[in-house]
Amino acid sequence: MTRLTTQSGQPAAGEPAPTAPWARVRHYSRLVLGREGSVRRPVAFLILALIIATIITPDFIRPTDIESLLINSSFLVVIAAGEAFVIMVGSIDLGVEALLASFGMILAWLTVLHSVPTGLALVATLAAALVVGLLVGFLVAKVHIPSFVVTLGVYWGFRGVALLVHNQQYISPSSVSPARQFGFDSIAGNAFGISNFTLVLIAFVVVVVCQAVLSLTPYGLWLKSIGSNEQAARRAGLRADLLKMSVFAVSAVLATLAGIMLTAYQGSIYPDSAAGYSLQAIAAVILGGIPFTGGRGTVTGAALGALLIGVINTLIVLLGLPSQYEYVFVAIVLVIAGLQARGGDLVK
């Protein structure tokens, strides 16, 4: 007999909780964590990770380590915010780390090696990223090349650009004599008496703005509609192709912003900077509750997913483990997140 449910997917009033094991897991997880895409899920994951990290090493809760966690995670939070827009429409962007490194190198090349005024260099760099993002979106939406293929090409192509900008060498103020500053170092300035805390404030503003756009504007509703059912969205009159192009532009610009932030923070930029950030950003979005099919979820959740990955990275450092363990732990957490997200599909 078919079980009665409400529109929210919960058992109808007066109906007993399901008795099948998987059905019970699904029922009670939804009561506690909310439905798939709810921000309560990444919040629960993050709280659990913080508790476990504190049990393993009490040093984790020291203010200096918390500050370090927030600062070091700010770059991934910004990238994950852009990736969230792409995955929200059911696509994927594998090129963000290469865009971060290459445009960071280009900006440093302009300001340090060629004395281009900082404001002009920043505008030119962000504008170039916007154009690249629109071109990627055009190839995906209009030419119908899978986003996986296009952005993988962007990854390799712009990783090559990063290597070619300065003959595979890093760029820093001391790359010229006399030394010439970047001019945008204040991006990594002090705030509230904490060194480099401006980076955290920038990441916070990015998340707030992106979440507001996604939740409070028709644009956000349109993106969710495409991720939920693209054909229905098209029949309703939405210009799905232009909307898809726009999300890749958002992702490219935010990846470039993260590159600018990282360059200011390090005081230099390397061609291989941010290695692994593309997959980490995707993992953060999935951990944050946005499924690969898109259509639901929040940018806030993606940011919390990025912080969860930051917790794992910080814990590895505190335990003195090789950095390679990061991939193992992130993979385990990601699989667990995938299982709970798919729990509803396992009990039909």
Domains and CATH numbers, the chain: 37-341 (1.10.3470)
CA 278 to chain centre: 8
CA 195 to chain centre: 24
Radius of gyration (C-alpha) of the chain in whole angstroms: 21
N residues, the chain: 348
Give yes or no for a contact between 96 and 278, defined as CB atoms under 8 angstroms apart.
yes
- Calculate the average pLDDT of the chain: 87
79-104 core/surface letters (b: 16 or more CB in 10 A; e: else): bbbbbbbbbbbbbbbbbbbbbbbbbb
Q: Give pLDDT tens digits for 295-326.
A: 889 999 999 999 999 998 888 888 888 877 77
Q: What is the pLDDT of residue 289?
A: 87
Give yes or no for a contact between 53 and 47, defined as CB atoms under 8 angstroms apart.
no
Give yes or no for a contact between 224 and 295, defined as CB atoms under 8 angstroms apart.
yes
Residues 6+ apart with CB under 8 A from 1: none
Q: What is the pLDDT of residue 63?
A: 87
Q: Give pLDDT tens digits for 156-211.
A: 999 999 999 999 999 999 999 899 999 898 999 888 888 899 999 999 999 999 99
